[in-house]
Amino acid sequence: MSTAASTTVATGLAISHAHLTLGDGENTVKPLDDVSLSVSAGELVAVVGPSGAGKSSLLAVAGALTTPDAGTVTVNGTDLNALGRSAAARFRLENIGFVFQSGNLIPSLKAAEQLVLMHRMAGGDGGFDPLPLLAAVGMDHKAGSRPDQLSGGERQRVGIARALVNRPKLLLVDEPTAALDRRRSQEVVELLARETHEMGVATVMVTHDHDVLHHCDRVVEMVDGRLTS
Ligand SMILES: Nc1ncnc2c1ncn2[C@@H]1O[C@H](COP(=O)(O)OP(=O)(O)O)[C@@H](O)[C@H]1O
Ligand SMILES: [Mg+2]
């Protein structure tokens, strides 16, 4: 229908009618029950909802960590379900950034080294300079510090910088402020919003923290595996 030159590349995340069942026998749960969600490039969408609602499962499916029973997930036009395991792993490294509750840094590495390793893992060469990205999250002055020498908020900021190293199209963030006080929480989510907008990445952030929602472009609620706006 369209030529390569005129094709509009679908940017961001599109989840369509995803179903996910976990467990077996009488312990079966359905963390995703016909979930559809689109997130545009440059948009920060918050997902709120009670514990057990399926929020982390949604991120797992969006990040090709879990394959849904039914439905489609595309990231920048690539159908994740159509990728084999190793292709999915490579696609994840090159296109998807993850940020978890505690920053999930490697204890023995300095802040700068956390970023360099992520660059190498995606096949990058030796010329990568981590300092501009550390500066973008206000952490260039701590480039030589290991995680145990950083505060919770600082670790979280390094974690965000690391997730952005490979210029992901999709950023998946699970409860980034759970271990932070109110002021640090504001700073971290403000930073996420800024990087989302400046880098044009589609970001999905799961949070319990209603005080940070004003930084988000859109809020969706998840209850019993279903999304409501
Ligand atoms: N591997 C698993 N096996 C069985 N049940 C699971 C598994 N992972 C999550 N669940 C269940 O799926 C539901 C949704 O979990 P989750 O997506 O982690 O929710 P949330 O992040 O909103 O708290 C919960 O009932 C949880 O206990
Ligand atoms: Mg969760």
Q: Which ligand is nearest to the CA of 57?
A: 1
Calculate what percentage of the chain has a pLDDT beyond 90. Answer: 78
Helix or strand (DSSP H, E) at 45? strand 44-48
Q: Which atom of ligand 1 is nearest to the CA of 51?
A: 23
Distance 11 CA to ligand 1 centre (A): 28
Render pLDDT for 39-85 as a digit per residue (tens, 0 to 9): 999 999 999 999 999 999 999 999 999 999 999 999 999 999 999 88
| pLDDT score at 104 | 86
Provide the H-helix boundaries in the chain.
55-62, 85-95, 111-121, 131-136, 152-164, 182-199
Q: Which ligand is nearest to the CA of 47?
A: 1
Of 195, 174, 177, 192, give the one whose Cα is nearest residue 132.
195
At 125, which amino acid appears? Answer: D
Pocket test for ligand 1, best of 19, 21, 29 (most atoms within 8 A of CB): 29
pLDDT classification of 2: cutoffs 50, 70, 90? very low
CA dihedral 91, 138, 198, 96 (to 10 degrees): 10
State pTM to two decimals. Answer: 0.92
CATH classification number, 12-228, choose in 1.10.10.10, 3.40.640.10, 3.60.10.10, 3.40.50.300: 3.40.50.300
**Cα–Cα distance between 85 and 80 in angstroms, integer?**
10
Distance 28 CA to ligand 1 centre (A): 10
Q: Is the pLDDT of residue 7 over 60?
A: no
- Ligand 1, atom 12, lies closest to the CA of 31
Q: Which atom of ligand 1 is nearest to the CA of 174?
A: 21
Q: How far is CA 53 from CA 45, 47, 218, 221, 227, in A?
A: 17, 10, 19, 9, 9
| pLDDT score at 3 | 42
- DSSP secondary structure code for residue 68 in this structure: -
Q: How far is CA 93 from CA 20, 88, 89, 90, 163, in A?
A: 23, 9, 6, 5, 10
Of 65, 45, 69, give the one whose Cα is nearest residue 192.
45
| pLDDT score at 10 | 66
Q: Which ligand is nearest to the CA of 52?
A: 1
The β-bridge partners of 33 are 19
**Cα–Cα distance between 144 and 111 in angstroms, integer?**
6
Calculate what percentage of the chain has a pLDDT beyond 70. Answer: 96
Neighbours of ion ligand 2 (CB under 5 A): 55-56
Q: Which atom of ligand 1 is nearest to the CA of 54?
A: 17
147 lines ligand 1 (CB under 6 A): no
Mean pLDDT rounded to a whole number for the chain: 91
Residue 217, classified by CB atoms within 10 Å of its CB into exposed (0-12), middle (13-18) or buried (19+), is middle
pLDDT classification of 1: cutoffs 50, 70, 90? very low
